[in-house]
Amino acid sequence: MNMIDVRVAAIEQVTPLIKHFKFVKEDGSKLPPFSGGSHIVVALDAEGRTYRNPYSLMGSPTETDAYHISVRRQENSRGGSAYMHENISVGMTLKITHPVNLFTLAKMAHKHVLIAGGIGITPFMSQIEDLNRLGAEYELHYAFRSYKQAAFVEELQKACGNKLHCYSDSDGKRLDMDALLSNQPLGTHVYVCGPSPMVVGVLETAKNLGWPDSNVHNEQFLAPPVGESFKVQLAKSNLEVQVPAEMSMLEAIEAAGVQPEYLCRGGVCGRCELSVLESDGGLEHNDHFLTESEKASCKKIMPCVSRTKGKRLVLDL
Amino acid sequence: MERGYWIKSKPIYTSLVWHEKATSHLVLASGIGGMAALKLFQQMHPAQPVTVLYARYAQMEVDYSETLKKVVPDNLHVFKFEEDLLTELKSIMPHMRMGLRIYVAGSEGFIWDVAKAVKPFGVDDAHIMKEQTDTLARNVYCVHCKAVTKSVTTNIVACCGCERMLFVRDHFSRNLGAYMGLMVDAESPGELPAIEEIYP
Amino acid sequence: MALNFKQESFRDDYTYKNSPEAIKRFPFPFPEDQYMYSVNIEPHTKGKPGSVYEFPFDIDEHYVAECHDRAITLAEDAGRYQALPHMMDAQWDFLELAMESLSSDYPEHFTLTKNGSIWTWENKPLGIHDTFTFGDSTTLPREPFDYMGRQVQGDFVLLDQRDETLYADAGMVTCQADWSLAFNVGMSWREWHGPVPKATELGVMDRALKYLMNLQLANPVRRLNWTMTVNPRLDTSPENYPHWGGDRNKVNADNVSELIHLRVELQSLFRLPRSNGIVFSIRCYLMSLKDIATYPRWAKRLHRVQKTMHPDLIEYKGMTKFHPLVVEWLSQFDDGADIGVGTQPE
């Protein structure tokens, strides 16, 4: 995979838990333009291992003197977000992937309803730039715990004006999904990014109101869950790899020197799909990509987020 | 015909069934398609508002309007011609909201006329439930002169635009609502295969 | 190295000819004696200097004549260019990719100067010199895709990615192997590959779609496809089939090596940045059997491949009428010797 070398140009503590990082190219040239909703994967070499974490790109997709990401420090971090918060400082160099978009705006939509919860605001930070540039009709609904913990409210007010609607738990203001989705013009698309209950809520409400699936979009990156340690045997490479409890299978395979293909590292895109030749226990499928029947067949696995319940797994790699 | 063959560029038409999840319903039927609308009301009378538009005279002179009047509770509109129905459809579409479900029954030509009429309002044809009734007649797009010859029942037809003899290919464009017609005797002028009615 | 652009025609008197250098760099598509319809996609990485894979967009001695032929076809039938309204970002993406590639790979022929969003484009072979504002269509003589598509060899289709598939929502198609853009525009992947025989049953098209949906920026891919065409005619469109279909009757044992051309499409696909669309580039190379046979290895390979071709594929590619003549003519070169795997001429 072609990686881009970037330098950390600025870091800002946006809220007690969220840091905003600004990346520029070493030679001062522009970074590639992208489409609203794209993410990059940031590769971090630390403590003898490589973290590769996906983050949504914020800011203008067309004015790309710099890339912007925001990282929320996760409570049960496997180390990626904690490392970003504690060890990355201005002037350091990092490797990032080219932007990938798994959360695109529907170009033919007549209207866009964007729904964000907490740090889920980040993909919308670039999408609103695209929507403003195209003069599209949209509204952004942003729910968070309190104004103190909410990132970018001022920027959003400036960019979206009266299209922005904020909902703060601490003020007791709630987003009524049913009311929001039951009176939208034909051709409206709804997009949601946020905590799982919010995403599920939007998907279910839209379904119950008769919205076609293709008008409903969500982004729900998974952080690779921690689990038990197990062994993976790579049949083609003739290698045995120990997957530690706090590492994903994909990370462990990479650390052993094998480079499977990947894109999102969050169980969404399907690129890292591997064939399972043998397993001594059931598979723990955590991805959103495989169908239920594929999951049940135990023949395929997405090593970026999934694991085995047993002790040993043989993969066709 | 080759076994296992199907026209991948054409959707498979089904029988109309109510969507349970909806905020309102719009049923569009023409000619014998009125029967498909009647069958819907045999399934149930939905809790949500229903609008029915029916055109009496389609390819065949069958009229279900009297029966429909007895069955459809309110919001039934009957038209003499399909064109009038389509005009009314375009005038009511701006008032519709997300959650509307659309059902159409009639000839293939009528189905795609409806799809074309609602597309500018943000409705994709994939979300319209479609039942083909009346006839298997095909609309044929001449790839040479771009004219569309309507209601073709034969494997080969003279183009209404350029008069070339067109072979009706099993390749369908949803955008055009028509099958591709390709000159049949370009390589051997005047030599035509037998012309047969295969889309009655 | 500056290219020597030829004056030649792809219609009427057909003065198109390949130089010995052009023959040698021809992307011969058969690495093995048997042909199987397959996805055969590989990364579109930089190839050897002088090869058709050296640059993302290959410009050769036929450049000026091909652009001229395309202009004639577009003037006769405006339907050969289509762009649905939601494809404007993809149009600019295409213009940027083509201008940046050509100006950096062929600097003696093309120049791009940027001053913020004010761009100046100079195309010396075609005598074009324009200054415009990137992103503002009104500052160009035509829509961006229409403008730049006319200045690159090959056909182009812009694909929009949505609803878990790809849609052919814009195109400039004037040198196609018998498919109609006007008919296909707006179709999804499955719809426009509907007429491909056997392939879909084998799941080839579904696998290719899954692969392309994950195509990444800066990581283009390519594959070769092929057919045979009577005369060096670029425009073998269904639209003009009445004009060229009859040529299939003119092939005989005496003229088969000059009339029949192996038509190879170098298909490459690039992810586009702003639109998240994909440009599908179909670059056509035409080589007469006679020119191919200047390399005996190619003649042997082509003979074996054609001799064992499945009848359905012969029919699908429109070769039924003249195919026995092709096999017969090529047989004189085939001594049955093992020539190993690979597409190299010698």
Per-residue pLDDT of C279-314, as tens digits, reads 999 999 999 999 999 999 999 999 999 999 988 889
Subunits in contact with chain A (3 or more CB pairs closer than 8 Å): B, C
In a domain, C298, yes or no: no
Instruction: Name A167's bridge partners.
Output: A143
The pair of structure tokens assigned to C131 is: 């200054």
Q: What is the model's pLDDT at position A147?
A: 93
CB pair distance less than 8 Å for A207 and B100 = no
Q: What is the model's pLDDT at position B58?
A: 59
Nearest to C274 among A35, A106, A108 (CB): A35
Q: Which residue has the higher pLDDT, A268 or B100?
A: B100
CB pair distance less than 8 Å for B122 and A187 = yes
Q: Which residue has the higher pLDDT, A51 or B183?
A: B183
Which residues have a Cβ under 8 Å from the Cβ of C202 and sit 6 or more positions away? C37
Instruction: Name A231's bridge partners.
Output: A242, A312
How many CB atoms sit inside 10 A of residue C234's CB? 24
Contact residues on chain B for A214, CB-CB shorter than 8 A: 124, 126-127
In a domain, C229, yes or no: yes
Q: What is the mean pLDDT of chain A?
A: 91
Q: With an 8 Å Cβ cutoff, is B97 touching chain A?
A: yes
In a domain, C198, yes or no: yes
Contact residues on chain B for A210, CB-CB shorter than 8 A: 19, 21-23, 98-101
Contact residues on chain C for B112, CB-CB shorter than 8 A: none
Could you tell me what percent of chain A has a pLDDT over 90? 68
Nearest to A101 among C87, C135, C276 (CB): C276
Question: Tokens 């044809």 belong to which residue?
Answer: B125
83-122 of A, contacting B, C-beta below 8 A: 108-110
Contact residues on chain C for B174, CB-CB shorter than 8 A: 186-187, 191
CB pair distance less than 8 Å for C274 and A61 = yes
CB pair distance less than 8 Å for B97 and A186 = yes
Q: What is the mean pLDDT of residues A235-253?
A: 89
Mean pLDDT: which of A216-225, C27-36, C110-119 is highest?
C110-119
Nearest to A185 among B22, B98, B126 (CB): B98
Between chain B and chain C, how many beta carbons pairs sit less than 8 Å apart? Answer: 66
Q: With an 8 Å Cβ cutoff, is A212 touching chain B?
A: yes
Per-residue pLDDT of A111-127, as tens digits, reads 999 999 999 999 999 99
Contact residues on chain A for C217, CB-CB shorter than 8 A: 32, 34, 98-100
**pLDDT-wise least confident of A6-20, B67-81, C29-43, C174-188:** C29-43
Q: What is the model's pLDDT at position B25?
A: 97
Distance between CA A131 and CA A137 in Å, rounded?
8
The pair of structure tokens assigned to A135 is: 């003069």
The pair of structure tokens assigned to C163 is: 């609803």
Overall number of domains in chain C = 1
Nearest to C162 among A2, A61, A106 (CB): A106
CA distance readout (Å), A254 to A93, A94, A149, A243, A263? 21, 18, 36, 11, 14
Residue C265 CA to chain centroid, in angstroms? 4
Nearest to B9 among C187, C240, C321 (CB): C187
Contact residues on chain C for A62, CB-CB shorter than 8 A: 135, 274
Q: What is the model's pLDDT at position A1?
A: 60
The pair of structure tokens assigned to A171 is: 């003020």
CB pair distance less than 8 Å for A271 and C214 = yes
Per-residue pLDDT of C36-95, as tens digits, reads 766 677 889 999 999 999 999 999 999 999 999 999 999 999 999 999 999 999 999 999
CB pair distance less than 8 Å for B182 and C183 = no
The pair of structure tokens assigned to A156 is: 């959003």
Q: C31-68 burial, b for 16+ CB within 10 Å, e for fewer?
A: eeeebebebebeebeeeeeeebbebbbbbbbbbbbbbe
The pair of structure tokens assigned to A61 is: 């997709």
Per-residue pLDDT of A145-158, as tens digits, reads 999 999 999 999 99
The pLDDT-based confidence of A178 (bands split at 50, 70, 90) is very high
Contact residues on chain B for C249, CB-CB shorter than 8 A: 187-188
Domain carrying residue C147: 20-26+39-291
Identify the CATH class of A230-315: alpha beta
Helices (H), C171-232: 181-184, 189-192, 204-213
Q: Which residue has the higher pLDDT, A269 or A231?
A: A231
CB pair distance less than 8 Å for C214 and A270 = yes
Between chain A and chain B, how many beta carbons pairs sit less than 8 Å apart? Answer: 51
Distance between CA B29 and CA B88 in Å, rounded?
13
- Chain C closest-CA separation from residue A228 CA (Å): 31
Q: What is the model's pLDDT at position B166?
A: 97
What is the fold of A111-219?
Rossmann fold (3.40.50)
Q: What is the model's pLDDT at position A44?
A: 84
Q: With an 8 Å Cβ cutoff, is B140 touching chain C?
A: no
Q: Which CATH architecture has domain A3-97?
A: Beta Barrel (2.40)
Residues C153, C263, C278: CA angle, nearest 5 degrees: 45
- Chain B closest-CA separation from residue A105 CA (Å): 15
Question: Tokens 């269509």 belong to which residue?
Answer: C137
pLDDT score of C200 more than 50: no
| Structural domain spans, chain A | 3-97, 111-219, 230-315
Subunits in contact with chain C (3 or more CB pairs closer than 8 Å): A, B
Distance between CA A301 and CA A294 in Å, rounded?
9
Q: What is the model's pLDDT at position A125?
A: 97
**Local structure of residue B126 (DSSP, 8 states):** G
Q: With an 8 Å Cβ cutoff, is A207 touching chain B?
A: yes
In terms of residues, how long is chain C?
A: 346
What is the fold of B24-132?
Rossmann fold (3.40.50)
Contact B114, B89 (CB under 8 A): yes
- Chain B closest-CA separation from residue C322 CA (Å): 13
Which residues have a Cβ under 8 Å from the Cβ of C140 and sit 6 or more positions away? C130, C132, C147
Contact A113, A188 (CB under 8 A): yes
Q: Of A267, A196, A265, A299, which is closest to residue A50 (Cα–Cα)?
A: A265
Q: What is the model's pLDDT at position A49?
A: 75
Instruction: Check C207, C223, C263, C304 and give the catalytic one.
Output: C223
Which residue of chain C comes nearest to B170, CA vs CA?
Answer: C195
In a domain, C4, yes or no: no
C223 catalytic? Reply is yes
The pair of structure tokens assigned to C278 is: 């994909």
Nearest to C274 among A1, A62, A214 (CB): A62
The stretches in chain B having pLDDT less than 70 are: 1-7, 58-60
Q: What is the model's pLDDT at position C316?
A: 84
How many CB atoms sit inside 10 A of residue B120's CB? 12
The pair of structure tokens assigned to C55 is: 């640059």
| Structural domain spans, chain B | 24-132, 138-183
In a domain, C261, yes or no: yes
In a domain, C146, yes or no: yes
Angle between helices B82-92 and B108-118 (to 10 degrees): 20
Distance between CA B48 and CA B50 in Å, rounded?
6
Residue from B8, B125, B172 to probe the interface with C (highest C Cβ count within 10 Å): B8
Contact residues on chain A for B99, CB-CB shorter than 8 A: 182, 209-211
